[in-house]
Amino acid sequence: MIGRPARRTLVLGGARSGKSSYAEQLLRRAREVEYVACGLPADGGDPEWADRVALHRDRRPASWRTVETVDLVGVLGRPGPPVLVDCLSTWLARAMDDCGVWAEEPGADERLAGAVDDVVAAWAGTRRRVVAVSNEVGSGVVPATVSGRRYRDELGILNARVAAASQRAWLLVAGLPQRLK
């Protein structure tokens, strides 16, 4: 990247595409980074997830602080060092659950739309340098379930809105970064 680094960068890719590693490379020169893990807590009872979290932590510098939260609005709204959000895909899954989408609770769609609007507004307005990772959707197999298709559709919308509010967007294919914006 020539010149000043972009303040808001989205890194998309499929499973095991290298998107997280590439996002980390974009912030490698920062003395400290707030690494926001939006998934389940590492000690949440899922050994495979805990192993993945441990691998991610092991490859990051000791000066990078891991924060396990889904409060992206709060993180993006406060001052601090650069932020790496990993990832919007897991944030959305948690948001859909927290809003009651899967339980088909009354008002769930409106709550989810509000949560997405709030995150996109925080992303667009942040004063911090931020890199977010998300799974690219739409080029793979159509999910076999209604809930899978709903998640895919919501993630596609979220990715498009975040990309529109980003200065840079990258797509990782087989470990190779392709600049989209």
Could you tell me the CA-to-CA distances from 64 to 23, 61, 155 in Å, in that order?
A: 13, 6, 27
Token pair of 86 as six digits: 């990993």
Q: What angle do CA 109, 114, 116 make, to 5 degrees?
A: 95
pLDDT at 1: 42
Closest CA to 14 of 163, 149, 165, 155: 155
- What are the catalytic residues? 56
What is the Cα gyration radius of the chain?
16
| pTM given for the model | 0.90
pLDDT at 149: 94
The model's pLDDT over 15-36, given as tens digits with 9 standing for 90+, comes to 889 999 999 999 999 999 999 9
Q: For the chain, what are the domain ranges?
A: 8-179
Q: CB under 8 Å to 102, separation ≥6 — which residues?
A: 96, 147
Q: How far apart are CA 25 and CA 60, in angstroms?
A: 10
**Residue carrying the six token digits 């769930």:** 108
pLDDT at 16: 86
Residue type, 83: V
The model's pLDDT over 65-104, given as tens digits with 9 standing for 90+, comes to 988 899 999 999 999 999 999 999 999 999 999 999 999 9
pLDDT at 68: 87
The domain at 8-179 falls in which architecture? 3-Layer(aba) Sandwich (3.40)
The model's pLDDT over 66-77, given as tens digits with 9 standing for 90+, comes to 888 999 999 999
Phi and psi (nearest 5°) for 83? -120, 140
Q: pLDDT exceeding 90 applies to what percent of the chain?
A: 75
Does residue 145 carry a pLDDT above 50?
Answer: yes
